C-alpha cells in the first residue's frame, strides 16, 4: 500500500511543491466526479461516464503536454491516475443521489483543483524555457481545459465561458506565481500565497456572481 502511494506521489513530489501532491489527487478525483455528474445529466452509459470523468480530470494536463511538446505525457507513465479517476467517476454513479448535499464541498475542491492545476502547468513549462506568456498559458490550459472538454463532449457551452470568473482565477494565480518567483519568494510561501489568493478570488466570484462582461449579437446577415 505504501509503495503504491509513493508511486502516485512521486511524479509531483519532484516538482518542489510540498503542498501540491495531495491537493492534486483530491483535485483530479473531484474533477472526475464532476465529469461523471455531467455525463449522468446527459443519460450516458457507464463507458461514457468513465470517458467523461477521465477527460475532465486529466484532459487539461494532456493538452498542455501536447502543446508544449512535453513527453511522455504524465498519466501514460503513471496509470494510477487513470485508475483513480475512472474509479471516482464510476463511484459517482452510486453516490449521485447524495451529491446535492455536497455541492459546497465540491465547489471548494474545484477551486483548490483549479489553483493546483494552474501551478502545476506553470511549473511544467518553466524548465522548458518558454516565454512568460507561454508559461501562463500552460498554467491556464492545465486549469481549465478539462472542464472545456467535458462540456463540449456533453454538448453544452463550456461554463468557463459564460459563468462566474474561472479562467480569470487561473490567470491571476499564474501571474502571481511568476511575480513571486521573480521576486525570490520562498517556494513553499509562494504556493501558500497563490492558493490563498486563488481560492479566495474564486469563492468571492461564486458568492457575489462576479463575471466578465458578455457579448450578445443577434442580428442576422441574410
pLDDT for the residue numbered 112:
84
Residues 81, 75: Cα–Cα separation, whole Å:
6
213 is a domain residue: no
214 is a domain residue: no
- How does pLDDT run across 43-70, given as a tens digit for each residue? 999 999 999 999 999 999 999 999 999 9
The predicted model scores a pTM of 0.84
Measured torsion, CA atoms of residues 108, 117, 87, 46, in degrees rounded to the nearest 10: 90
Would you give per-residue pLDDT tens digits along the chain (222 residues)?
A: 344 434 444 444 444 445 677 778 888 998 998 899 889 989 999 999 999 999 999 999 999 999 999 999 989 998 999 999 999 999 999 888 776 777 787 788 788 889 999 999 999 999 999 999 999 999 999 999 999 999 999 998 888 888 779 999 999 999 999 999 999 999 889 989 999 999 999 999 999 988 888 887 777 665
For the chain, what is the largest distance between any 2 Cα atoms, rounded to a whole number of angstroms?
A: 66
Structural domain boundaries, residue 106: 2-208
148 is a domain residue: yes
The CA distances from residue 81 to 8, 10, 11, 122, in Å, are 7, 12, 11, 20
pLDDT for the residue numbered 215:
81
161 is a domain residue: yes
Give how far the C-alpha of residue 36 lies from the chain's centroid of Cα atoms, to the nearest Å: 15
221 is a domain residue: no
184 is a domain residue: yes
Closest of 127, 166, 147 to residue 60, by C-alpha: 147
217 is a domain residue: no
Yes or no: say if 154 and 49 are a contact pair by the CB < 8 Å rule.
no
Number of domains in the chain: 1
218 is a domain residue: no
pLDDT for the residue numbered 5:
39
Residues 62, 84, 119: CA angle, nearest 5 degrees? 45
Closest of 123, 212, 209, 204 to residue 161, by C-alpha: 212
Give how far the C-alpha of residue 81 lies from the chain's centroid of Cα atoms, to the nearest Å: 14
Yes or no: say if 36 and 55 are a contact pair by the CB < 8 Å rule.
no
Q: What is the DSSP string of 137-159?
A: HHHHHHHHHHHHHHHHHTTS--G
Please report how the helices 80-95 and 2-13 are oriented relative to each other, as an axis angle in degrees rounded to 10: 110
pLDDT for the residue numbered 176:
97
Yes or no: say if 178 and 136 are a contact pair by the CB < 8 Å rule.
yes
pLDDT for the residue numbered 83:
96
Amino acid at each position: 500500500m505504501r509503495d503504491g502511494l509513493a508511486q502516485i506521489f512521486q511524479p509531483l513530489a519532484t516538482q518542489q511543491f510540498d503542498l501540491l501532491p495531495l491537493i492534486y489527487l483530491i483535485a483530479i478525483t473531484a474533477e472526475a466526479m464532476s465529469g461523471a455528474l455531467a455525463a449522468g445529466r446527459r443519460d450516458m452509459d457507464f463507458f461514457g461516464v468513465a470517458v467523461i470523468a477521465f477527460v475532465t480530470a486529466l484532459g487539461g494536463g494532456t493538452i498542455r503536454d501536447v502543446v508544449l511538446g512535453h513527453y511522455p505525457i504524465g498519466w501514460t507513465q503513471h496509470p494510477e491516475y487513470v485508475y483513480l479517476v475512472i474509479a471516482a467517476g464510476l463511484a459517482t454513479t452510486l453516490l449521485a443521489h447524495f451529491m446535492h448535499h455536497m455541492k459546497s464541498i465540491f465547489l471548494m475542491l474545484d477551486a483548490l483543483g483549479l489553483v493546483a492545476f494552474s501551478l502545476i502547468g506553470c511549473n511544467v513549462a518553466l524548465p522548458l524555457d518558454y516565454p512568460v506568456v507561454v508559461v501562463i498559458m500552460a498554467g491556464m490550459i492545465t486549469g481549465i481545459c478539462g472542464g472545456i472538454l467535458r462540456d463540449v463532449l456533453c454538448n453544452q457551452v463550456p461554463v468557463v465561458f459564460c459563468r462566474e470568473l474561472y479562467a480569470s482565477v487561473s490567470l491571476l494565480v499564474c501571474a502571481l506565481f511568476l511575480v513571486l518567483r521573480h521576486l525570490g519568494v520562498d517556494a513553499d510561501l509562494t504556493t501558500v500565497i497563490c492558493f490563498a489568493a486563488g481560492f479566495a478570488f474564486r469563492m468571492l466570484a461564486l458568492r457575489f456572481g462576479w463575471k466578465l462582461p458578455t457579448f450578445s449579437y443577434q442580428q442576422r446577415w441574410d
